[in-house]
Amino acid sequence: MLAIAAAALIALAGIAARPRPPAPPQVVGPRQTTAEQPVYRFRSARAVRFRCAFDSTVLHACPARYSKPLDLGSHVLRVRAIGRQRTQSRVVAVRIQVADALAQLHVSDAVTVGAGAGVPAVLNGAVWVPTTADGGIARVAGGTVVARTKAGQTTADAGFLDAAVAGGGAVWSASDAGGTVARVDPVSGAVTTSFAVAGRPGGLAEGGGAIWAFHFLQGTITRIGEDDAAVGRIDVDGARATGIAFGAGSVWLLSANPNELVRVDPLTGSTVGTIAIKPPFGLRHALIDTWWLAYGDGAVWATLPNYNAVARVDAISGAVQYAQIRYGAPFGVAVGGGAAWVAAARGVVRFDSVTAAPLGAVSLPAASKSGFVSIAFGDGAAWATNYDRGTLVSVTP
């Protein structure tokens, strides 16, 4: 009996010696904010350190003063105080709403156009949207699909993207899987000519009396004359193309790995110069460093999905300006109406096309998969497609 009593006393002494757990932490900081990286401070009696996480139940070590870049929308910050001998408090959860301070753009109701909605083109009061899955192109007018044309190859592979552009009084549609570029009559909607080109024509540009196609992750450029329908080819050594544009008398080719902008003489096919793309931001994704290109108002604009950023390159000086966006990875870009319109996974951002200052933004509905988007400008609006949802919306100031 004496032994049992002694053991009980020892156990009680051990319990008495164990320190009290820390108090539940107080979280000091904004619950509603427009800051991209708001700051939070944690306080707790008897705490020696903290563990926390945004939008996860798996906590990690955090300093008492903690901040992290946050996307727009709702977030939950969870915090736990840790005391001596690994005692711990309960988890405190704080809801935080991050809003954009930019002026809100206006977005229309979505029009369902078809699976794999690609890069649109605007001509004669209509928006022409390639539908990659069935190799078609949908004509949208008055908020509805009024006609469909078979322009490319049907594919079930989500890795392809069809693209359209307006030029020479026609609509041109590139079939990424089919290796063709189709000329579509904007009045009848019929394909008048289909050109066989190099594999994977990933996107189109118009200028200098021709339609220009880049070929995805290749150094090949295809030229199709708008008047004579002559097909030519330019090879750019070392390029892995992701975008193309025409402006200031040059063809501009965007390349990934190396991340650079290549300027090509459209008459000789020779490379005039290259401009390195080196955003001063940390990586945010593991997608692809460069994606799309557009020219307007004396500059070339490139989207940089892995950095949540865009680059504006002055066509004369070659000076590069970078800007990050807060709507996820940007894919599409178009220039028109004195602005550059950047389409990202969760929204569209409007920049001044000369100064690169952000002018406005709007959130788009959450995507069902990747949120992969494209955009074109025409008839006073930007037109954004969602590849996964198969939809088209207009965005205006």
Q: What is the pLDDT of residues 200-241, one digit of tens each?
A: 999 999 999 999 999 999 999 999 999 999 999 999 999 999
Q: Is the separation of the CB atoms in 344 and 329 below 8 Å?
A: yes
pLDDT of residue 12: 46
Q: Which CATH class is domain 2-99?
A: mainly beta
Delimit the CATH 2.60.40.10 region(s) of the chain.
2-99
Phi, psi of 8 (to 5 degrees): -65, -40
Delimit the CATH 2.130.10.10 region(s) of the chain.
104-396
pLDDT of residue 71: 84
The secondary structure element, H or E, covering residue 351 is strand 347-352
Average pLDDT over residues 151-166: 94
Query: Most distant CA pair in the chain: distance in Å?
Result: 109
Superfamily (CATH H level) for 104-396: YVTN repeat-like/Quinoprotein amine dehydrogenase (2.130.10.10)
pTM, 2 dp: 0.88
Pick from 187, 167, 113, 161: which is nearest to 394 by CA?
Answer: 113
